[in-house]
Amino acid sequence: MKIALLALLGLALGALGGAALGIGAGLAWVEIFKTTSFEGYSGMLVFFTFMPLGAAIGGIGCALLFAILAIRDAEIAIERKPVHGRDR
């Protein structure tokens, strides 16, 4: 259950972050390649192409990252067992 909840949290956070980065990348694309703004073409390019791509890539990537971290958390020993050896 913990893995699924962390994966959903990663999906939500990654989608928000990816969408923001997608908008930034789209605005950079428009400025670098001098995309025409005729009838809002550059705005539609940014918000209908770059933002959804960024949200999808960020959401999937962050969900996988959070799921992997949750799976590995079960393997990490939280408490160290005392070593049985000579007492000083």
Q: How far apart are CA 63 and CA 76, in angstroms?
A: 20
Query: Tell me, what's the pLDDT at 78?
Result: 58
pLDDT for 60 beyond 60: yes
Q: How far apart are CA 29 and CA 49, in angstroms?
A: 11
Q: What is the mean pLDDT of residues 22-51?
A: 95
**Cβ 46 vs Cβ 30: under 8 Å:** yes
- 9-27 per-position pLDDT tens digit: 999 999 999 999 999 999 9
Global pTM reads: 0.77
Query: Tell me, what's the pLDDT at 14?
Result: 97
Q: How far apart are CA 28 and CA 12, in angstroms?
A: 24
Q: What is the mean pLDDT of residues 67-87?
A: 71
Helical spans, DSSP H, in 33-50: 41-45
Query: Tell me, what's the pLDDT at 73?
Result: 76
